[in-house]
């Protein structure tokens, strides 16, 4: 069954090609299709397009379908194009013509848009919850290790004194910014497209504000044309939020992979976070963080894929949009998996103490010595030159006392302020 079928024989090869993965991916949307259909039916009853009895019978059958979905028994049958067709087919089998009436006042286009926005709303909320938990975990570790010093690098060369507290905290604050973007995308998504039909509205006296309230949207997506080309744009915005999260987490995964290397030896990974080699008995490979890095780098390419898929399309619906689900659904699942494995793995990482006792890190303190001379009254350029000459002569002696007090420095991590950002 297809909602557009007109008793014209279908070419099986064309049918399979045009359905693509919809009959699989649409199972993710089943509960949302029922939720949207219940709200639509209630609105149709209110405006006189369904009788009270018809609305009641439709509601009962929709709730029965919802139970099947919850119990894992819902299936899109062979020959049925998508979840929307399957739900309407089940209603029609039970209720006859009453089941057919539910499509009045909507197109499959705005039905898809509605299901997707409800689906995205739940997924964004879930990602936000996990991203906030991960951010707080970084800040907690920042406090735990605030006094444990480590080298800071620029250009992959030893640069200045840093600390594990400063390092962990940087990812907590980065995730705070990622959360702002994720929330903004969630707000844009949470607007009701139902009633825009195929993109040009319709002549039924629909009450779109009623369905907006029933479905707990923040507002309407008012312009019916924009509601339609919001498809693609919504996915693009979500992909950008995913890419931002991925950027942050990828950098951490790379650091862990590097810092757990024997030549750095800043971090120790427990056995459960590593794998071995088939021929090298000493190996403990950081596969978890290598895969996190790979998946995050993959997600950072997603906005380009979605942009290329949609950017050349004119106003209106196009079947090209079908491919969006094949890109965005797995990407959301991938980020969900990444956040959960990060939350699991992060507390298991062990930091190494007393790293800076090694003489090879003496030059980390050169800036500290320059700054001390400046505080004694020597102009900065003269102090810089003096220390540089001592380094060249091999006479440099570090003063390993570090006194950083400004906001966001080793001695003042501003963890409380960053937590306020995360909680906002």
Q: Tell me which of 57, 103, 155, 278 is the catalytic residue.
A: 155
In whole angstroms, what is the distance from residue 299 CA to residue 283 CA?
A: 29
Q: Tell me the CA end-to-end span of the chain in Å, nearest whole number.
A: 48
CA 58 to chain CA mean position, Å: 36
- Residue 155 annotated to the active site: yes
In whole angstroms, what is the distance from residue 263 CA to residue 156 CA?
A: 13
Q: Tell me which of 57, 142, 170, 277 is the catalytic residue.
A: 277
Q: Which two tokens stand for residue 423?
A: 């909680």
Number of Cβ within a 10 Å radius of residue 4: 8
- Residue 145 annotated to the active site: no
Q: Taking the C-alpha atoms of 276, 280, 286 and 291 in order, what is their torsion angle to the nearest 10 degrees? A: -80
DSSP bridge partners of 163: 149
In whole angstroms, what is the distance from residue 286 CA to residue 403 CA?
A: 35
3-state secondary structure the chain: CCCCCCCCCCCHHHHHHHHCCHHHHHHHHHHHHHHHHHHHHHHHHHCCCCCHHHHHHHHHHHHHHHHHHHCCCCCCCCCCCCHHHHHHHHHHHHHCHHHHHCCCCCCHHHHHHHHHHHHHHHHHHHHHHHHHHHHHHHHHHHHHCCCCEEEEEECCEEEEEEEHHHHHHHHHHHHHHHHHHHHHHHHHHCEECCCCCCCCCCCCCCCHHHHHHHCCCCEECCCHHHHHHHHHHHHHHHHHHHHHHHHHHHHHHHHHHHHCCCCCCCEECCHHHCECCCCCCCCCECHHHHHHHHHHHHHHCHHHHHHHHHCCCCCCCCHHHHHHHHHHHHHHHHHHHHHHHHHHHHHHCEECCCHHHCHHHHHHHHHHHHHHHHHCCCCHHHHHHHHHHHHHHCCCCCCCCCCCCCCCECCECCHHHHHHHHHC
| Catalytic residue IDs | 155, 277
């Amino acid at each position: 069954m297809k909602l557009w079928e007109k008793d014209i024989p279908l070419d099986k090869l064309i049918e399979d090609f045009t359905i693509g993965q919809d009959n699989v991916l649409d199972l993710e949307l089943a509960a949302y299709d029922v939720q949207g259909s219940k709200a639509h039916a209630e609105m149709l009853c209110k405006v006189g397009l369904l009788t009270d009895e018809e609305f009641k019978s439709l509601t009962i059958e929709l709730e029965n379908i919802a139970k099947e979905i919850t119990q894992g028994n819902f299936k899109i049958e062979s020959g049925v194009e998508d979840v929307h067709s399957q739900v309407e087919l089940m209603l029609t089998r039970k209720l006859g013509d009453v089941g057919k009436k539910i499509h009045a006042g909507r197109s499959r286009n705005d039905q898809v848009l509605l299901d997707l926005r409800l689906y995205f709303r739940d997924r964004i909320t879930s990602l936000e919850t996990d991203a906030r938990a991960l951010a707080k975990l970084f800040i907690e570790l920042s406090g735990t290790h605030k006094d444990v010093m480590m080298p800071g690098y620029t250009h992959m060369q030893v640069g200045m004194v840093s600390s594990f507290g400063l390092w962990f905290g940087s990812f907590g604050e980065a995730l705070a910014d990622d959360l702002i973007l994720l929330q903004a995308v969630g707000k844009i998504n949470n607007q009701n497209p139902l009633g825009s039909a195929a993109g040009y509205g319709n002549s039924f006296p629909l009450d779109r504000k009623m369905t907006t309230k029933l479905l707990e949207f923040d507002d309407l997506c008012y312009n019916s044309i924009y509601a339609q080309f919001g498809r693609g744009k919504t996915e693009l915005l979500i992909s950008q939020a995913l890419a931002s999260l991925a950027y942050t987490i990828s950098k951490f995964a790379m650091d862990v992979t590097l810092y757990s290397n024997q030549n750095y030896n800043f971090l120790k990974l427990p056995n459960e976070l590593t794998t071995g080699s088939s021929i090298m008995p000493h190996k403990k490979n950081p596969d978890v963080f290598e895969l996190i890095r790979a998946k995050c780098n993959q997600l950072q390419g997603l906005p380009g894929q979605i942009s290329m898929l949609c950017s050349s399309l004119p106003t209106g619906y196009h079947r090209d949009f079908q491919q969006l689900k094949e890109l965005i659904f797995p990407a959301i699942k991938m980020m969900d998996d990444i956040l959960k494995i990060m939350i699991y793995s992060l507390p298991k990482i062990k930091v190494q103490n007393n790293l800076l006792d090694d003489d090879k890190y003496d030059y980390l303190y050169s800036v500290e010595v320059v700054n001390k001379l400046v505080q004694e009254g020597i102009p900065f350029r003269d102090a810089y030159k003096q220390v540089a000459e001592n380094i060249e002569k091999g006479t440099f002696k570090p003063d390993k006392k570090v006194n950083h007090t400004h906001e966001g420095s080793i001695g003042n991590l501003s963890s409380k302020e960053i937590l306020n950002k995360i909680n906002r």
